[in-house]
C-alpha cells in the first residue's frame, strides 16, 4: 500500500491529538504523544493545551511534582518531558548517544578525570540528590571529592546520567535556575537493544508511519541500532510505500485518517514535537518556511498551524497575540486562529501572559503576507 504526503500529514495530526482535543489528563495525554520538548518550561503546557480538552495546567504541575512525568535530557540530546513509565527505557536507549556527546566532549575531557572515575561516583551522587540540589550544591560536593573545582563533571553527568529536573515552582514548574534530583525510577531494563525497540515502538505509535531516517532523527540515535530494532521487530510492524520510493514502518492498527479529515487551526509552542520528529520536515512544514521557523542556532519558533501545515508564527504582545502569516489565509482560517488566540490568552493570563520574550529579535526580519493581533 502506498501512502501519500497528505495521508502522512493527517496521520501525524491524528496521533499527536491535533485533529481534535481529547478528554485526557496530562499523564495520559503525554503518553499518547510520547514526548514533548521542554527547553522552554512553558512549551509542554502549551503543547498539551493544544491537544487536550479543557486542559488545566495544574494537572501537569502535579504530574511533575509526583514524578509521574519527568523532565530530563533525552531525545535529540535536549530536554524532554516524558512519562515515568517511558523514562527508564528511553534513558537506556539514549545512553550511547548521551555518553558520546558528553563524556567525549572537550568540556568534560578538559577536567582530566577518567570516565571510570566519574561513573564510580554515581551511586554516592544519587544518594546526595535524593533531594533537590542546585548546580552549585553538586559542584561543591564534587569539589570536596576532588580537592579542586570540577564543574564540567557535573555538566556531563546531569545530562547523561539518571538525573531529572526537580520542580522549582514558578509559573511553569521550572524556574530559570534549575535543580536536579535522582530519577525516582533507577531500575533499567538492562537490555539496550530491547530499550531501543521500546523507543522505536513508542515513536511509531505517536508519529508513524515513518522511515528509518525519521526514527533516528527523533532520538538522535545511530542508525544501525534503529535498523536492528526494526529487523528484530519483524512481522510485528506494518510496512508501506511512501512518497519518493521511501519505505515506511508502523505499528499494527496505527491510525491513518482519510485525506479529507479536517485539521483545525492550532497555535503550537516553541519546539513543538511535530516540527522536529521527522528527517523530512515537509510532512508539516513547507520547505520554504523551514529556515524561517527553525533558526540557525536551534531555536524553533511558535507556529500557526493551518490545515495541518505551518503557515506562520506567533508571539504574545501587550495588546494580544500577534500572528504573522507567511502566505494569505482565508477569512475562515483567521476566524479559527482568533478563537484559538482568545482561549490561549486566557490560559496564559493565569500563569504568565508574556512568554518567549527573549526570542523577540527573530521577528525583526520575518517575511509576511499579513500580520494581525488576535485575542484582544
- Phi and psi at residue 352, to the nearest 5°: -155, 100
Its pTM stands at: 0.96
Q: What is the pLDDT of residues 277-316, one digit of tens each?
A: 999 999 999 999 999 999 999 999 999 999 999 999 999 9
Burial-class residue 309 by CB neighbours within 10 Å (0-12, 13-18, 19+).
middle
Residues whose CB is less than 8 angstroms from the CB of residue 22 and which lie 6 or more positions away in sequence, other chains included? 29, 32, 51, 52, 53
Are residues 312 and 164 part of one domain? no
277 domain residue, yes or no: no
pLDDT band at 170 (very low <50, low <70, confident <90, very high): confident
Rounded mean pLDDT, 347-366: 95
Question: Of the candidates 155, 182, 209, which is a domain's last residue?
Answer: 182
Q: What is the pLDDT of residues 77-116, one digit of tens each?
A: 999 999 999 999 999 999 999 999 999 999 999 999 999 9
Are residues 298 and 158 part of one domain? no
pLDDT value for 222: 81
Q: Which three cell numbers stand for residue 341?
A: 488566540
Mean pLDDT of the chain: 96
CA–CA dist 241, 375 (Å, integer)? 43
Question: Of the candidates 145, 161, 182, which is a domain's last residue?
Answer: 182
CA–CA dist 76, 294 (Å, integer)? 15
Asked whether residue 360 carries a pLDDT value surpassing 90, the answer given is yes
Q: What is the pLDDT of residues 14-55, one digit of tens each?
A: 999 999 999 999 999 999 999 999 999 999 999 999 999 999
Are residues 176 and 301 part of one domain? no
CA–CA dist 82, 31 (Å, integer)? 8
pLDDT band at 376 (very low <50, low <70, confident <90, very high): confident
259 domain residue, yes or no: no
Q: What is the pLDDT of residues 75-84, one digit of tens each?
A: 999 999 999 9
Find the domain containing 363 and state its range.
Answer: 285-374
Q: What is the pLDDT of residues 143-164, one digit of tens each?
A: 999 999 999 999 999 999 999 9
297 domain residue, yes or no: yes
167 domain residue, yes or no: yes
**Sign of the alpha-carbon dihedral angle for 131, 103, 279, 367:** positive
CA–CA dist 368, 314 (Å, integer)? 12
212 domain residue, yes or no: no
pLDDT band at 344 (very low <50, low <70, confident <90, very high): very high
Asked whether residue 359 carries a pLDDT value surpassing 90, the answer given is yes
Are residues 169 and 50 part of one domain? yes
315 domain residue, yes or no: yes
Q: Name the domain count of the chain.
A: 2
Question: Of the candidates 163, 182, 201, which is a domain's last residue?
Answer: 182
26 domain residue, yes or no: yes
Are residues 156 and 303 part of one domain? no
Are residues 175 and 292 part of one domain? no
Asked whether residue 276 carries a pLDDT value surpassing 90, the answer given is yes
Q: What is the pLDDT of residues 180-203, one digit of tens each?
A: 999 998 889 999 999 999 999 999
193 domain residue, yes or no: no
Q: What CA–CA distances, in Å, run from 135 to 82, 153, 157?
A: 22, 11, 11
pLDDT value for 3: 95
pLDDT value for 26: 98
pLDDT value for 185: 87
- Cβ atoms of 119 and 222 within 8 Å: the answer is no
Amino acid at each position: 500500500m502506498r501512502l501519500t504526503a497528505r495521508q502522512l500529514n493527517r496521520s501525524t495530526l491524528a496521533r499527536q491529538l491535533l485533529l481534535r482535543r481529547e478528554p485526557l489528563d496530562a499523564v495520559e495525554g503525554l503518553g499518547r504523544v510520547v514526548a514533548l520538548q521542554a527547553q522552554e518550561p512553558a512549551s509542554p503546557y502549551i503543547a498539551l493545551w493544544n491537544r487536550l480538552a479543557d486542559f488545566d495546567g495544574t494537572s501537569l504541575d502535579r504530574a511533575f511534582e509526583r514524578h509521574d512525568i519527568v523532565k530530563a535530557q533525552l531525545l535529540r540530546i535536549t530536554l524532554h518531558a516524558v512519562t515515568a513509565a517511558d523514562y527508564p527505557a528511553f534513558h537506556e536507549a539514549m545512553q550511547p548517544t548521551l555518553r558520546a556527546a558528553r563524556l567525549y566532549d572537550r568540556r568534560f575531557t578538559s577536567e582530566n578525570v577518567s570516565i571510570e572515575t566519574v561513573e564510580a561516583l554515581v551511586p554516592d551522587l544519587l544518594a546526595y540528590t535524593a533531594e533537590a540540589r542546585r548546580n552549585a550544591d553538586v559542584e561543591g560536593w564534587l569539589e570536596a571529592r576532588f580537592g579542586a573545582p570540577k564543574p564540567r563533571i557535573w555538566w556531563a553527568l546531569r545530562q547523561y546520567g539518571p538525573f531529572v529536573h526537580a520542580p522549582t515552582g514558578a509559573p511553569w514548574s521550572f524556574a530559570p535556575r534549575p535543580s536536579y534530583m535522582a530519577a525516582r525510577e533507577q531500575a533499567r531494563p538492562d537490555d539496550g537493544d530491547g530499550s531501543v525497540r521500546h523507543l522505536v515502538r513508542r515513536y511509531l505509535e505517536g508519529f508513524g508511519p515513518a522511515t528509518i531516517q525519521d526514527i533516528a532523527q527523533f532520538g538522535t540515535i545511530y542508525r544501525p541500532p534503529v535498523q536492528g530494532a526494526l529487523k528484530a521487530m519483524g512481522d510485528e510492524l506494518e510496512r508501506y510505500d511512501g512518497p519518493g520510493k521511501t519505505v515506511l514502518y508502523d505499528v499494527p492498527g496505527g491510525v491513518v485518517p482519510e485525506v479529507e479529515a479536517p485539521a483545525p487551526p492550532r497555535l503550537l509552542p516553541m519546539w513543538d514535537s511535530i516540527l522536529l520528529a521527522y528527517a523530512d520536515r515537509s510532512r508539516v512544514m513547507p520547505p520554504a518556511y523551514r529556515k524561517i521557523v527553525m533558526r540557525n542556532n536551534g531555536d524553533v519558533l511558535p507556529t500557526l498551524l493551518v490545515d495541518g501545515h505551518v503557515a506562520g508564527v506567533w508571539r504574545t504582545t501587550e495588546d494580544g497575540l500577534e500572528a504573522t502569516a507567511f502566505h494569505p489565509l482565508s477569512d475562515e482560517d483567521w476566524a479559527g486562529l482568533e478563537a484559538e488566540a482568545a482561549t490561549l490568552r486566557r490560559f496564559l493570563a493565569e500563569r504568565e501572559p508574556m512568554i518567549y520574550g527573549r526570542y523577540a529579535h527573530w521577528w525583526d526580519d520575518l517575511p509576511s503576507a499579513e500580520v494581525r493581533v488576535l485575542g484582544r
